[in-house]
Structure 1
Amino acid sequence: MALNTSPEAPIPVAQVSRMIGGWIDRLGAVWVEGQITQLSRRPGAGVVFLTLRDPSHEMSLSVTCFRQVFDRVADVVGEGARVVVHAKPEWYAPRGQLSLRAAEIRPVGMGELLVRLEQLRKALTAEGLFAAGRKRPLPFLPRVVGLVTGRASAAERDVLETARQRWPAVRFAVRNVAVQGVHAVPQVISAVRELDAAPEVEVVIVARGGGSVEDLLPFSDERLVRAVAECSTPVVSAIGHEPDTPLLDLVADLRSRTPTHAAKDVVPDVGEEHERIERLRERARRCLDAYLEAQERGLADCVSRPVLARPHRMVEERAGRVEELLLRGRRTLGHVLDRAGAELEHTRARVVALSPAATLRRGYAVLQREDGAVVRDAEEVAAGEALRARVAEGEFTVTVTPGR
């Protein structure tokens, strides 16, 4: 759209900027390939800023995207990475700046592969296949060790030689398989399942030497990861070198840094075990000696006590105390009996003094009629009536005569 302008009738900068923005808004979204040269992710900010550069033409464009768009590839994309961006051109009118608003970012080449592996890792983690609670402990001294590795490989040699140096009697069940290429995954899965089903095999090692990311891809295959997760026998992963982390490392019960370390992790060292046994024996001997010495000191302390040095002393002391209590009891009982005797004599004297027999001994007599009634009044008897007279020393019969 042509504009009629002249030196005498110019248009303002703001109007020009708005017009350019309008033209750019009519453009649709495009796929753009380039290399990230600058990346800015401020903490808490909802927008990520980056610069997309074309190395062959030395040209760059500013790109913005929402944080959730960039977070999808943040684990495998950084400065220097080649990416393909689906973006729409935008014009920022206040500053007259052109940029691209990205709706999707895809890594190119190895980055895309790493993204797929990361997505698979997150999915399997969500299922719980990598949970620490699923890890099984390794046996201390396995009878037979299963080994899945390449034929005549350095990994096989390292595992076997290291294990036999540590424990010469160890036995291995070796399964040689392809460790890269299209046949690697099914062969490794078949070997792992075969060893897992063998009752004599107590632990399985899956070993491979170092290599590129592409070479180690079979050990991040979802089918292999799930097969290892289903095993009832503990599985040790020894893939590549220490920095290499295929998904098999995460699902295995133990991840060893290298095949050599896998042999050390699974098979104990006979020399070290002998030394450990000797240290434990010496420690047990010292503990037992210390215990016996403590018991001897305690026994000596007990023997040196007076109660054991002169065992009859306690009996003698108690015998004196018993004798003292016996004498005290006898005195107390004598006092009680004497006091009771005195009280008895006093009571007896009173009884004797008040007894009718005592009165009779003073010359008195008790007159009783034939029916036994005591005569208390002279009017109670008649002349000529026979009465029984009771005196102190017997009784006799009297006849009542009329009185004057």
Structure 2
Amino acid sequence: MSAKTTPEQPLPVRTVLQMVAGWIGKLGTVWVEGQITELTARGGTVFMTLRDPVANVSARVTCPRGVYEAAMPRPADGARVVVNVKPDFWVNRGSFAFTALEIRPVGVGELLARLERLRQVLAAEGLFSADRKRRLPFLPGTIGLICGRDSAAERDVLENSRRRWPAVRFKVEQVAVQGPYAVGEVTESLRKLDADSEVDVIVIARGGGSLEDLLPFSDESLVREVSACRTPVVSAIGHEQDSPLLDLVADVRASTPTDAAKKVVPDVGEQLTLIRQLRDRGRRVMGGWLDREMAWLTSVRSRPSLADPVRELERRAEQVDALRERARRVMGGSLDRAADDLTHLRARLVALSPAATLERGYAIVQHPSGDVVRLARDVSPGDRLTIRLTDGRVPVTADPSDGSSPTPDSPADPAPPTEPADPAGET
């Protein structure tokens, strides 16, 4: 077409619009899924807007009243439907719209099946993992609250939080919590509160409702937005039995908005009671420790070494004196016994001494070599011998004619009194 048109030869608007209408008409009928909004009826025609469930995209739909009333149950504003439509382009107005040929409401079973498939996909990506969930601050300075306009959920969170901790502060974002605009408004408020550095925790609260009413909180885009938040998020959607996907991806799940207030804000009364209990416990522990230390100190002070140090010295001095006296007695007894032993030994030595034997009239005959003569055959005639007496020595020579008596050679020599002689040589 660009080759056939020039600034000098442009096409009329009607021609271009007719060509667009022809191209759109070639599409035929298609089945589309969306959420009904802005539902109105005038005469025999029903007008509505079909909104995409994920993206912020919508299209106008005209439907004959008979087609609309044939759908069972009859769809209402906010219902999820599958529509067989024929795209139309109105040349006169230059507008595009769908003409509905058949409407089928999406059943609860089909919605649950879709949610289960989406849950499995997100779980496989790790969005529901416990490792990525963050702990809530003990006492948040400012709480971001996303809730419906003038809703009971807002009152429950605010009143219970301020009852538990009166000084708590809130930044409230009132949004649509059901219908076609809920996902967009909740997502936008979530981004706004997450970007606020004063907000320490974000609470998304809504009261109970049907499965269709809670579908925005299972929307994939909202779930991914919550998983990307840097601020901890608390999900308080519906009642205990309600479980949208937002509960699985949030850092903390609260069964109700009231439960969310209990989880986010500590109770000042409970904390004061806990502080009092801890203080009493610390006082008891410290008192017990001091009592044990005082008892130990008293026990140490009562010991004799500290109670009367001089008495202990005196006792030790008495022990030293007793030991010294005992040592003196033991040493004296040992010396007396040694003296007695020496006397006895001297008497025995005197009794066994050869000098004593000589004093009794005996003599000792020795060869010049000093050997004692014990037998007569040991002496040959002419041998020189020495006879030892008690007062000296007498040298003699054996008689050659008679070996029984030696002959003295010279006067007797006095013998030293201290030289011992072998008693076995006595003759």
Task: Name the CA distance, whole Å, in 2 between partners of 1:148 and 1:203.
Answer: 11
Task: Name the CA distance, whole Å, in 2 between partners of 1:276 and 1:135.
Answer: 27
Task: Name the CA distance, whole Å, in 1 between partners of 2:134 and 2:193.
Answer: 16
**Is residue 311 from structure 1 mapped to residue 309 from structure 2 by the alignment?**
yes
State the match for 1:208 in structure 2: 206
Give TM-score, length-normalised by structure 1.
Answer: 0.53
Task: Name the CA distance, whole Å, in 2 between partners of 1:183 and 1:330.
Answer: 116
Task: Name the CA distance, whole Å, in 2 between partners of 1:319 and 1:196.
Answer: 86
**SS across alignment from 1:169:** coil
Preserved CA contact (<8 Å) 2:304 2:312 = no
- Once the two structures are superposed, the pairs formed by residues 129-168 of structure 1 within 5 Å of their partners are 129-168=127-166
State the one-letter code of the partner of 1:307.
S
Structure 1 residue 146, shift from structure 2 partner: 0.6
Structure 1 residue 308, shift from structure 2 partner: 2.6
Structure 1 residue 323, shift from structure 2 partner: 5.2
Structure 1 residue 299, shift from structure 2 partner: 2.4
Structure 1 residue 128, shift from structure 2 partner: 1.5
239, 242, 245: which one aligns with 2:243: 245
State the one-letter code of the partner of 1:295.
E
State the match for 1:280 in structure 2: 278
State the match for 1:223 in structure 2: 221
State the match for 1:236 in structure 2: 234
Structure 1 residue 126, shift from structure 2 partner: 1.6
State the one-letter code of the partner of 2:226.
V
State the one-letter code of the partner of 1:121.
R
- Once the two structures are superposed, the pairs formed by residues 47-66 of structure 1 within 5 Å of their partners are none
Task: Name the CA distance, whole Å, in 2 between partners of 1:196 and 1:323.
Answer: 91
Structure 1 residue 297, shift from structure 2 partner: 2.3
Task: Name the CA distance, whole Å, in 2 between partners of 1:328 and 1:194.
Answer: 101
State the match for 2:62 in structure 1: none
State the one-letter code of the partner of 2:130.
A
Structure 1 residue 270, shift from structure 2 partner: 1.7
Task: Name the CA distance, whole Å, in 1 between partners of 2:287 and 2:155.
Answer: 48
Structure 1 residue 229, shift from structure 2 partner: 1.1
State the match for 2:125 in structure 1: 127
Q: For residues 306 and 178 of structure 1, do their structure 2 counterparts lie closer, same or farther at Cα, with a shift above 3 Å needed?
A: same
Task: Name the CA distance, whole Å, in 1 between partners of 2:321 and 2:223.
Answer: 93
Task: Name the CA distance, whole Å, in 1 between partners of 2:149 and 2:215.
Answer: 19
Deviates more, 1:181-190 or 1:301-310: 301-310
**Is residue 117 from structure 1 mapped to residue 115 from structure 2 by the alignment?**
yes
Structure 1 residue 141, shift from structure 2 partner: 0.9
Deviations 1:171-230 (Å, cap 9, x if unpaired)? 001111111122211221221122112111111100011111011111111111111111
RMSD (Å) for aligned C-alpha atoms: 5.0
Task: Name the CA distance, whole Å, in 2 between partners of 1:310 and 1:119.
Answer: 89
**SS across alignment from 1:289:** helix
Task: Name the CA distance, whole Å, in 2 between partners of 1:199 and 1:329.
Answer: 92
Deviations 1:367-398 (Å, cap 9, x if unpaired)? xxxxxxxxxxxxxxxxxxxxxxxxxxxxxxxx
State the match for 2:299 in structure 1: 301
Task: Name the CA distance, whole Å, in 2 between partners of 1:114 and 1:299.
Answer: 75
Q: For residues 189 and 326 of structure 1, do their structure 2 counterparts lie closer, same or farther at Cα, with a shift above 3 Å needed?
A: farther
State the match for 2:261 in structure 1: 263
184, 187, 201: which one aligns with 1:186: 184
Q: For residues 222 and 333 of structure 1, do their structure 2 counterparts lie closer, same or farther at Cα, with a shift above 3 Å needed?
A: farther
State the one-letter code of the partner of 1:246.
P
Preserved CA contact (<8 Å) 2:147 2:204 = yes
State the one-letter code of the partner of 1:282.
D
Q: For residues 234 and 321 of structure 1, do their structure 2 counterparts lie closer, same or farther at Cα, with a shift above 3 Å needed?
A: same
Q: For residues 312 and 125 of structure 1, do their structure 2 counterparts lie closer, same or farther at Cα, with a shift above 3 Å needed?
A: farther
Deviates more, 1:216-225 or 1:298-307: 298-307
Structure 1 residue 320, shift from structure 2 partner: 4.0
Task: Name the CA distance, whole Å, in 2 between partners of 1:127 and 1:313.
Answer: 85
Task: Name the CA distance, whole Å, in 2 between partners of 1:316 and 1:116.
Answer: 100
Structure 1 residue 332, shift from structure 2 partner: 11
Give TM-score, length-normalised by structure 2.
Answer: 0.51
Structure 1 residue 133, shift from structure 2 partner: 1.6
Task: Name the CA distance, whole Å, in 1 between partners of 2:201 and 2:145.
Answer: 9
* Alignment: residue pair count: 297
Deviates more, 1:193-202 or 1:281-290: 281-290
State the match for 1:400 in structure 2: none
Unaligned 5+ segments in structure 2 are: 1-105, 333-427
State the one-letter code of the partner of 2:245.
L
Percent of aligned pairs with the same amino acid: 62
**SS across alignment from 1:205:** strand
